[in-house]
Homo-oligomer: A and B are copies of this chain.
Amino acid sequence: MENLFEKPLVTVDIIIFTVVDSDLKVLLIRRGVAPFKDMWAIPGGFVRSDETLEEAASRELVEETGAKDIYLEQLYTFGNPKRDPRGRVITIAYFALINSENIKLHATTDASEAKWFSIYDLPQLAFDHKDILDYALKRLRWKLEYTAIVFQLLPKRFTLAQLQKIYEITFHKKFDKRNFRKKILILNILKEAGAQKIVKHRPAKLYSFKGKIERIIEIF
């Protein structure tokens, strides 16, 4: 009866999404220890007693990617008593969006153990991490549809084609170019920011996101 109220371990896991090479990717790490040794897993770690959950997630994010000031949002808390064979571990999952520019700057952390995987071509995952990832993907799609979160996946200046590409990748379907551009531009959230250089075809206009990002994302 006593251990019925035993304290669980509490971790945060972070699903880190990015779009590179026309593909939606997620960062996974290879486990060095049992259980699930050598399998791929979502990065995470224990919550320290002096930090908030968001601080814990943010700290793990910096440890894995070196990237600071990244969009981070709490996803869901997974607490099935059997999810970790070693004992009760409750994990608060976060998801993070990082743009391809930041990746290139910081891809050097522990490179032998961390790798970007296409969301459409995943290895087998440790624990219940496949469920967590499925949930994260659902949330990402929803957020792209109903909020202005997409700009977290883009560099400061981008073309409308890049923007459209992100939607096509995450929703796994094509959109009509004219309708897409009309829909975005009518929102009046972009401002023109010069033009591409050094391309071997007609250079596209560059845009940047006008609003304070926080303001628009707060739809939820």
Residues of chain A whose beta carbon lies under 8 Å from any beta carbon of chain B: 3-10, 46-53, 74, 76-77, 79-81, 88, 90, 92, 138, 142, 220
Copies of this polypeptide in the complex: 2
- Identify the closest chain B residue to A82 (Cβ): B52
Q: Across the interface, do B49 and A88 meet the contact criterion of CB distance under 8 Å?
A: yes
Q: Offer 22 A-B interface pairs, CB within 8 angstroms, sorted by A.
A: A4-B48, A5-B46, A5-B48, A6-B49, A7-B8, A7-B9, A8-B10, A8-B49, A10-B90, A47-B79, A51-B81, A52-B79, A52-B80, A52-B81, A53-B77, A53-B79, A53-B90, A74-B76, A74-B77, A90-B90, A90-B92, A142-B220
Contacts A10-B10, A92-B77 given; indicate if A4 touches B52 (C-beta within 8 A): no
Which residues of chain B are near A9, meaning CB under 8 Å?
A: 7
Query: Quick one: which of B47, B49, B81, B142 contacts A49, CB cutoff 8 A?
Result: B81
